Structure 1
Amino acid sequence: MKILDQIRAEALRRNIPAADVERWMDLVRPCALLTEGGDGPVVGRFGGPVMLPADAEDPECPLLATIDCAALPTGVTDLPLPSDGRLLFFGWPDEDGMGDVVYVPAGAAVEERQKYPSAFPPDEPEYAGVYRELPEGELHLTVDVSLPFVGTVELQAPPWAAPVPGHPHSEELAEVWENQWGGAPMLLGGYGTDYNGGDPVGTAASVAIRAERSGYRPAGTTSPNAEDWVLLAECNVSRPGAGASIFWAIQRDDLIAQRFGRVQVLVDWNP
């Protein structure tokens, strides 16, 4: 409530009409901030050993984070996440980055895989610098809220809110939120930050449609509409003179059915 009050106060200070401010605030979604330290409960870890079922393929990217679904408090996001088991997020935060998600059910037999994928050997200078910037250690949870970082939100409003096409102050209100947000290495749920100046969820839907038409997407029905998609997670990696944000987006129906092989990954490289 303190965060939302601060946003309201700043928006009103900018002379944005109160009715328009409240219309925007209807878009608030719960969001989990995941950091290397803090007072919040431990819900997983950054990095660590790669533990996968024997029939799972070797990952193409390094393991960035493992989340213990059973450790997440109820309502910390509005995502239909599994109630137990672990979500493993893989990714490579670079110009030609990529990523993946693997869900390991509770009680599943697992085996340890090599920590460094063959495509990204840690002894090569161009990759060693990236590995040095990846977070390591316990993953602490902070319960937070999320608002859009971009002014166009017609296609990604939460189910309980009406879309706001043509909102007269959307760009300014998005700026208010961006200025207030403190950042985090990883987010679970919410809207996510912007992808190359746009909405990462809407962009993921468009990319997935193109991938399906080209035959590069796992079998299933792919919706072009961002309202059918959610942001599963985002990881932000800062590097000297550059940085990258990895977005894992998924259709809500695929998330409910635990079809994590249909996650669409975007990497926003900021040199």
Structure 2
Amino acid sequence: MAAKPGSGAGEWARHWQYAELPDLDLLRARYVRHTFPRHSHEGYVFGTISRGVEDVGLPGGTVHAGPGTVVMINPEVPHTARAGVPEGWVYATLYPSAQVINDIAADTTSLRGTVGFSETSVVDPYAARLIGEVHRAAEEGNALAADTVLRVMVTRLLSRYGSALPAPAPRSAGARDAARARAVLEGRMAAPPTLEALAAELGTSPFALLRAFKKHYGMPPHAWLTDARVRAARRMLDAGTAPAQAAAEVGFTDQPHLNRHFTRIVGVPPGAYQRERARTYKTGPELPT
């Protein structure tokens, strides 16, 4: 049964994984007052709106996505999302891993290396329909159709809007400090240092580190850490860890603290997320439309 985020009347969401396509997450939802804070994903995002408007905040500006639009976000690109109209938005989103997309690119296109999308929002009703068909096939337990339509959809988007991502430029001193700070925060997630202590450890100043981190990761260290904690909690929930234990191990004060940030970033509460991940096929009634 769909989880209700509880941030607005009429909101519902299902965030799940189809066992036959383990490197793909699916989210179908209606949000009205729910807002996604700045965060990023390890893999790609392909979303399409069936009703309403979603405002997606990206480094290049805000995308106003309505019906027939496909939003494409590359890995690790920070973004936000909120309703663009009072009635909110209804959408279906696919979150394939980087490996899935790059394998499809190698099999069906001439693109090589790490691929990405130069466009963040395109009006492509056919691709939008394919995203919905992947959801329907997965919900019906039709693995052959889900896998086939996913590949057709990704190939279409890659052939029209894809390109090989440029090789990373040599790291400046600021970039090296940002990367070192990220490694420290990853290693001390449950008990991170203050910005001042972190800067002193790296031999720089707090404001220099803050500027460098925001430049290279699109958000300040504390926001990045919250996102990283939620990612870590997701992996633990996938492995069967209880939400309260996951909260403690990744550094949240308690389970309500995890619940608040997890729901804001993932779109569903951790308990609902974990229950859906435990399923191997669709059960329960149809989601609203």
TM-score range, shorter chain: under 0.3
Structure of greater relative contact order (alpha carbons < 8 Å, 6+ residues apart): 1
- After TM superposition, the score normalised by the length of structure 2 is 0.25
